[in-house]
Structure 1
């Protein structure tokens, strides 16, 4: 065994794990899978697929569930953010790493709020592999866009509030909610309810008939009123205040 492989083996913490990939571009999917297998020779790359719905179905099946899933953020059909939300709402057993060739900043807030542990540059395969090893062994990855919540915490929040939405009478909620929630405007509360469902800023904008930038402004204002530093914290604070 070479020194390179021995170095990676030390990172495994002597635990082999299963990894899967979903990316809508066939060439990228093939290359990413090959590079992961090269850099993590002891990891079992169990499957790779191009459709978000297929990835969710495989993650929810005990027979095909991986320990780590690399999720392309710009999937067609079911988006990468929605894949993260559906998987995380159903289970905490799959570590989710969002990957993209585009701006990390564009996807990070939505993906982390939807239950991803981190969002990374798809081209930095070695860094992605290091993050996968860390998450598979219960450690936080060393990367810029990383969630402040564990997979179990994100799962608990999303599973508990899956389906919570605008059908709840806002006047009744306002009468019983803590002061921090009451201080939010009706539109800010509406946006936070949708954020808590793991909806992306684009999806929320389409649902409410406003621009994506407006949604981000509402989230920023709500976060400030809730004493949160970012969207992920704001969602967590919002959900805790609903109890």
Structure 2
């Protein structure tokens, strides 16, 4: 047995609402008593620090999508690039469709709603058993994809990379990106048109998916 399972599976819980952290901790004691939430983080930065030090101890990362600052899919992507075995299960209070595509691209093993205890229990049990939810990959497959395919990143200029990160990872609109960078909305849209061409895509949505899949990091 490894540190991940000695004394029962250990979970890293990431949610920026401390009340939710406490509620989920109590919930797991009731519905999955063999599972222990051994660490919790309320920000993406804190979660990454814990994961970098203790990934070999976690049987699962339970990761909220709508974190302050660094969003859940980006936290997931960075975790997956660190580790090829620990499963990551996303959770959200919003529609699953809002995060399914970017989270799958970021290397997670599933996504579940926070509001349904039964679905949460089933999803956690399934991922802990070594399975993954429909539309997602195994940790190893996701790790290999993110590590080996960084072609998209190298084709963009620094400004274009910044715009793609703001769009794909922080979900900013053209107007919000323009305000953040101090440029016009028309300039942002022109950059996006060039990005779509450079990534050999037909639409902005396809370009965002391609960018996420190819691991947008230096």
TM-score of the pair, normalised by structure 1 = 0.62
Check whether the contact 1:110–1:201 (CA below 8 A) recurs between aligned residues. no
Alpha carbons 1:65, 1:94 under 8 Å: kept: no
Alignment of 1:111-150 (within 5 A): 111-141=103-133, 146-150=134-138
Deviations 1:62-107 (A, max 9, x none): 3774111111110002211111010011112221111111121111
CA contact (8 A) 1:116 1:147 kept: no
Inter-partner Cα distance in structure 1 for 2:156 and 2:188:
20
3-state DSSP class of the match of 1:62? helix
Distance in structure 1 (CA, Å) of the matches to 2:110 and 2:119: 12
Whether 2:69 is the aligned partner of 1:77: answer yes
Distance 1:51 1:42 in 2: 26
Q: How many Å apart are 1:42 and its aligned residue?
A: 0.8
Offset at residue 201 of structure 1 (A): 7.5
| 2:188 alignment partner in structure 1 | 209
Pick closer, same or farther for the CA change 1:62–1:48 going to 2, 3 Å.
Answer: closer
The aligned residue for residue 54 of structure 1 is: 46
The correspondence for 1:66, drawn from 58, 72, 78, is: 58
Q: Which runs of 5+ in 2 are unaligned?
A: 1-6, 182-186, 197-201
Match 1:38 to one of 30, 52, 58: 30
After superposition, residues 154-173 of structure 1 pair within 5 angstroms as: 154-161=142-149, 165=153, 167-168=154-155
Q: Tell me how far 1:133 sits from its aligned partner.
A: 1.8
Q: CA deviation at 1:158?
A: 1.1
Give the number of aligned pairs. Answer: 182
| CA drift at 1:54 | 1.2
**Number of the residue aligned with 1:218:** 204
Question: Structure 1 residues 85, 27: closer, same or farther in 2, change over 3 A?
Answer: same
CA RMSD of aligned residues (A): 3.5
Structure 1 gap segments, 5+ residues each: 1-14, 171-189, 224-230
* CA deviation after TM superposition for structure 1 residue 129, in Å: 2.3
Q: Deviations over 1:15-42 (max 9, x none)?
A: 9311121111111111012112211101
The DSSP-based 3-state class of the residue aligned with 1:70 is strand
Cα pair 2:108 2:137 within 8 Å, conserved? no
For 1:18, the equivalent position in structure 2 comes to 10
